[in-house]
Amino acid sequence: MDAPDKNPSLLAGQTAHPTTQSAVASAAAPELIGLVTHEDVDRARDRWEVARARSKGGAKKFGGVRLLWLLVGPGVLVFLGENDAPSMLSYSADGSRYGVGFFIPFVVLTFIMGFIVQEMTVRLGAVTHRGHAELIFDRFGKFWGFFAMGDLIFGNFLTLVTEFIGVRAGLGFFGVRPAIAVGGALVIVVAAITTGRYWTWERITLSLAVFNGLFIPAAILARPDWHSVGHAMLTWMPFPGGGRYEILLLILATIGATVTPWMLFFQQSAVVDKGMQPRDINAGRFDTLLGALLASVFAIAAILATVPLFHHGINAADFQAAQFAEALEPLIGHTGAALFALGIFEAGIVAAIAISTSSAYAFGEVMQTGHSLNRPLRDAWPFYLTLFGSACAAAALVLIPHFPLEFVVLTVNVIAVLAMPPALAFLLLLVNDAEVMGEHVNGFWANVAGVAVTVLLIIAGLGFGLATVFPKWLGG
């Protein structure tokens, strides 16, 4: 069997959480075998499959492919989950207002930033076997642990509201009533997270996330000028014209559509729940890079799908519900508009699953209760209650009449930008802690990249603050 790697985070004087204690005790003393949990058994089965694939990798032609298949998941999910309904609508706003130009290469840059950040969470989870909130709680004390958890759950709840707005918007194109659309989406979310098995949950969510690719055929039906796309990628031109405040808000929203606090907590906890170890770090990097690549392609496709609105001078500033798809229908056809609408629906569903799960992970880690999708409902009811409660409350708010779609979408992304620097500060401190990371501590260039991303996000946040206080000075 795949023997567990040494966990340098279990330092002298520290106490592991109950699930860790029971696993260690069971391994050390056969008479304590009754302490082994459902979570331990399921994760051991997953590691056994990984060990078999690793041992046969050199002997079988496709052994390495199977190993990657078993280890891929958290990285793809975190990026396709971040390609959520508000993010795809933000990209659509970029394309409809400014066409092909600055925002296409800028989106690629933001996903590079996202990869830099998320790679660090892979190493943290694989080395320490602890979630992000749990590590903050252990290393920086109760105050910062509860602060990180509360900040995350609040931000996640606001984002969940926008996910169900996206669900309503997508299905609204097909004439589905809001209550039915939101209620049906909630049923899907609940069904995915009550499997009692991390592996099953991950594969179900990945299967749903694949449909983020619906934006590609929608973009093709929009008949983009590929020469202009290539020119934009090479030159970042033309730069958008118009009010500086509006442009700054869209830039911040685009950053917030790619790099957000929930991603740190979700991927690290998913890596732990999956049972990944230090020897799996390279596979985790591949998983994260694959997720960033797929998400960037789908994001650019959303921009290209809405460029016809720009060319026809259609103002998308006040679009709500299904109006984006309806406005696209005479320009890219019913099929293209339907694909766009289904893509928004899919984006909301996948993100609702991932974001509500990240809130539940953080709550369970800080409150020291069961926090694994490998645990049945009766063994980890606070974890599942947090998950269910946040999703249900957000879905209920979405049914309030005249909910301001685009304002909420852009505002949530901007809030994510403003909340990101403190989250990154904790991340950088942890990955530079030799007691926690051992030989996997951040290197020089990893720190350069991480600090650069943090500084860029701080500048973006200050820019938004100035734009808010002095809108006339910035031409708002």
Contact 179, 106 (CB under 8 A): no
Tell me whether residue 459 is in a domain: yes
How much is the pLDDT for 403?
67
Tell me whether residue 139 is in a domain: yes
Q: Residues 316-359: pLDDT tens digits?
A: 665 654 678 888 999 999 999 999 999 999 999 999 999 999 99
Tell me whether residue 205 is in a domain: yes
- Which is higher by pLDDT, 466 or 110? 110
For the chain, what is the domain count? 1
> Which residue range is the domain that position 338 belongs to?
41-53+64-469
pLDDT at 177 over 80: yes
Close Cβ partners of 452 (under 8 Å, ≥ 6 residues apart) = none
pLDDT at 11 over 60: no
Distance of alpha carbon 135 from alpha carbon 9, whole angstroms: 9
- What pTM did the predictor assign? 0.84
Question: What is the DSSP secondary structure assignment for residue 214, as one 8-state letter?
Answer: G
Q: Is 432 exposed, middle or buried (0-12, 13-18, 19+ CB in 10 A)?
A: middle
How much is the pLDDT for 322?
67
Contact 284, 276 (CB under 8 A): yes
Residue 31 pLDDT class (50, 70, 90 cuts): very low
Distance, first Cα to last Cα, the chain: 62
Q: Residues 355-395: pLDDT tens digits?
A: 999 999 988 888 888 788 888 788 788 888 888 888 998 88
Residue 4 pLDDT class (50, 70, 90 cuts): very low
Distance of alpha carbon 120 from alpha carbon 414, whole angstroms: 23
Domain CATH number, residue 363: 1.20.1740.10
Listed range (31-45, 187-201, 225-239) with the worst mean pLDDT: 31-45
How much is the pLDDT for 301?
95
Distance of alpha carbon 474 from alpha carbon 476, whole angstroms: 6
Tell me whether residue 383 is in a domain: yes
Tell me whether residue 16 is in a domain: no
How much is the pLDDT for 369?
82
Tell me whether residue 349 is in a domain: yes
Tell me whether residue 273 is in a domain: yes
Tell me whether residue 25 is in a domain: no
Question: What is the DSSP secondary structure assignment for residue 473, as one 8-state letter?
Answer: T
- Which is higher by pLDDT, 17 or 158? 158
